Amino acid sequence: MTVSRSTLVAPMPRPGDRVRLVSPASFPSRELLAETAAVLESWGLVVEIGAHALDRWGYMAGRDEDRLADLDDAFRDPGVRAVIATRGGAGAYRIADDIDFDAVRADPKPVVGFSDITALHLALWHHCGLTGIHGYLAGGRSSAATRRLLMTGEPTVLHRDPRAMTVVAEVPGSATGDLVGGNLGTVAHAVGAGLPSLADTILFLEAERTIGLGQIDRQLTQLIRSGALRGVRGVALGRFPGFEDYTDRGWTLVDVFEDRLGSLGVPVLGGIDVGHGPDPLSLPLGPAATLDTDAGTLTVGPAVG
């Protein structure tokens, strides 16, 4: 696989290394925080918790400056070898542009998180080319997938789930490019606010049905009309839970994808089992990837080195 731009791959955390749990978006419950720490400790890692990880400021884990301080402290600490988001939610987009990117470049370390943490992945890719992991640690399947990506440095092959509704929206073909993206709404809302160039990339998208088909349509149309999708080489569709039996005046999610993504003239692979919902798989973001609809696979390089 060829890399379309310069990537920054962080060293692989090893047993005995320190990792930091931070809450750049919403706050977790104490129970979720404890469960996440226990999973990481079972891998032989030494877990530290950011000073403001359990703070509350509305729906966010404390004020912007406090959430940013926890994140920067983790990036600046030479003993911390990975940064793990406790959860998604809302608020990461408010601090993404203010990260100490010089510290990231000087001592890169992988960030693990999904949903609203997409804003951090995009900013770190835009400013540093840093690779990361779209994933979390709740559920045995998810934690095993995340552990493999974080602590083995191996490439990953994700196979199409033939039962997923997004398979119907596929556009045949193959493509190669760096894999970028995450939550659809977070990617779309970054237009005009720090969205990196998506030219020569494979765009990964996922979302859950807290919104309707009209909002999915608007988000995809915003990406198209803004020119953000110009030069994209392919699209990989993850999970879209809640849309399986949902229709709006005769249309389904598949109709929206066929109408919007089908106009791009690039391969579209559906059925990637990554995103919201119970026990998903995890996915590297940033490394070179190959999408192949004939094989039904998305092959991605390692997120750590």
The Cα–Cα gap between 128 and 109 comes to: 11
Q: Which of 52, 126, 276, 282 is catalytic?
A: 276
Which residue is listed with tokens 């569709």? Answer: 237
Q: Is 189 a catalytic residue?
A: no
The Cα–Cα gap between 66 and 159 comes to: 40
Q: Is 276 a catalytic residue?
A: yes
Q: Which of 115, 142, 143, 282 is catalytic?
A: 115
Q: Is 115 a catalytic residue?
A: yes
Q: Which of 121, 143, 206, 282 is catalytic?
A: 206
Q: How many CA atoms lie within 13 A of 203 on its CB side?
A: 28
Reduced DSSP (H G I as helix, E B as strand, rest coil) percent helix, strand, coil of the chain, to 5:
35, 25, 45
HEC string of 209-263? CCCCHHHHHHHHHHHHHCCCCCCCCEEEECCCCCCCCCCECCECHHHHHHHHHHH
Pick the closest to residue 65 from 81, 74, 52, 48 (CA basis): 52
What 8-state DSSP symbol labels residue 179?
E
Report the catalytic residues.
115, 206, 276
